[in-house]
Amino acid sequence: MLFNSLAFLVYLPIVFCLYWFVFNKRLRWQNGLLLIASYFFYGWWSWKFMVLLSLSTFLDYVYGFSVASPNRKRAKVFLWLSIINNLGILGVFKYYNFFALQFQKGFDMLGVHLHPSLLQVALPIGISFYTFHGMSYVFDIYREKQKPISNFIEYAVFVSFFPLLVAGPIERATHLLPQVQQRRTFNYRQAAEGCRLMLWGMFKKVVVADSLAVIADNIFNHYTEHNGLTLVLGAIAFSFQIYGDFSGYSDIALGTAKLFGFELLSNFKFPYFSRDIAEFWRRWHISLSSWFRDYLYIPLGGSKGGKAKAVRNTFIIFLVSGFWHGASWNFIAWGFIHACGFLPLLLMNRNRTHVKEVVAADRLFPNGTELLQMFTTFCFVTFAWIFFRIHDIGQAVDYTKSIFTNVKNPGEALSYLSIFYYIVPLLVIDWQFRRNERNLQIAKRNMFMILSSKVVLYTVYTLTAIFLLNAIIQKENVSFIYFQF
């Protein structure tokens, strides 16, 4: 079920009313409703996927009790069983065909021709997310940060909670499970914040991302016919398309969770205002970056043991992160590019320069140095998105070369300047709220600023409603990009 669909607009009020007005007397009733509603939400695509979700959930629930054993050898065995189980599910459904074809190509080079059987099964929606939920639960039990949950319903809600089930954020058991286990009462302020986040997320998706997608697709799909400046605009369009698409989903997920009394982990903190690549990755897809940091980078030794080990672990993290996004060499190349961008900061011990403060934290505008840093970082990120967008690495390289070599008909680019109709308002509003991504409240300054900001916000909400209703009427509910991962 898509957030930007008529089905969801009907589904959400029904679940909300049942949750707060019918099942509100008992916590176990509320959790039971959430579990049923989550499986209904997930099964809207295919009931077959529900079987895999149920199996993954049940196995990690069972493993958790053995991983909590005081016998560390026994605990480690079941920890590895959980890892093998989850990565095995991913390996079969997401990566089997990729590796089978790579082996086929490798043997072809040796003169041996193989014909491996390929899986003709669609990738289960959200598989990369709910398997990571399960692994985080087992990892935290092994590290004695989390105790195994005896109530299966509570654990199943943690894994399958519908706002985050399909595309995150990737939650931690230590953060979400306590909220599942405690009594929840309706909080008007929290619900209002949730509605604002949902509307803002819808704006980023249906107004910005879906509009830019048409332009970006036209340029990328016919890049050999366009001049260099148009190709630059196409890369910028995709850069904001994927940001609006994925951060829009995350905002809707956080806002929906608030309606039911939950606070999810932040997933985006205005990444295009980052001053270097390290800061970008602390602000982009935060739940995935922190997951790899805590469960892969640190266990590998992190930055301890000298620069050589830190460099090795950094490249492992970025390459694995790229491969997590999809079974294709272009995603690995995308991860490698970001690793190369991160490397100079690591070697100069500047990768933690911008950890706490946001850009221009106590000022209305950034200074010249900050502007240059943000511009440089955005250009690097946008260049890397070319390899993310084009699955064939050779074509991605050709696209990049064409930016500098194809100078024919420069006036053509003027027809694509319309991308800034969507980008500029997004940047202006993001800048306004850059200090707190979860609460879209107007800062109390002078009356003119308050009124003008409210006019902008209500304009955004109106445009969102118009675009969303038009998409529903025209049956053009565009899926979210990260559904394929």
Catalytic residues: 325
Asked if residue 42 lies in contact with residue 124, where contact means CB atoms within 8 angstroms, the answer is no
Asked if residue 197 lies in contact with residue 254, where contact means CB atoms within 8 angstroms, the answer is yes
How far, in Å, CA of 472 to CA of 385, rounded?
29
Q: Which residues contact 144 (CB under 8 A, 6 or more apart)?
A: none
CA 322 → CA 124, 242, 342, distances in Å? Answer: 19, 15, 14
Q: Which two tokens stand for residue 407?
A: 């100078």
Q: Which two tokens stand for residue 149?
A: 């949950």
Q: Which two tokens stand for residue 26?
A: 């008992």
Backbone angles phi, psi at 386, to 5 degrees: -60, -40
How far, in Å, CA of 290 to CA of 485, rounded?
18
Asked if residue 94 lies in contact with residue 123, where contact means CB atoms within 8 angstroms, the answer is yes
Backbone angles phi, psi at 234, to 5 degrees: -65, -40
Cβ-based neighbour number of residue 304 at 10 Å: 10
Left, alpha or beta for 470 (phi > 0: left; psi -120 to 50: alpha)?
Answer: alpha
How far, in Å, CA of 80 to CA of 207, rounded?
45
Helix or strand (DSSP H, E) at 89: helix 72-90
Q: Which amino acid is at 325?
A: H
What is the widest separation between alpha-carbon atoms in the chain? Answer: 76
How far, in Å, CA of 133 to CA of 155, rounded?
10
CA 458 → CA 380, 452, 461, distances in Å? Answer: 34, 10, 5
Q: In the 8-state DSSP scheme, what is residue 324?
A: H
User: Which residue has tokens 């087992």?
Assistant: 138
Q: Which residues contact 206 (CB under 8 A, 6 or more apart)?
A: 4, 464, 467, 468, 471, 478
User: Which residue has tokens 């997608």?
Assistant: 213
How far, in Å, CA of 121 to CA of 102, rounded?
19
User: Which residue has tokens 């997310």?
Assistant: 129
How far, in Å, CA of 379 to CA of 358, rounded?
19
Asked if residue 183 lies in contact with residue 149, where contact means CB atoms within 8 angstroms, the answer is no
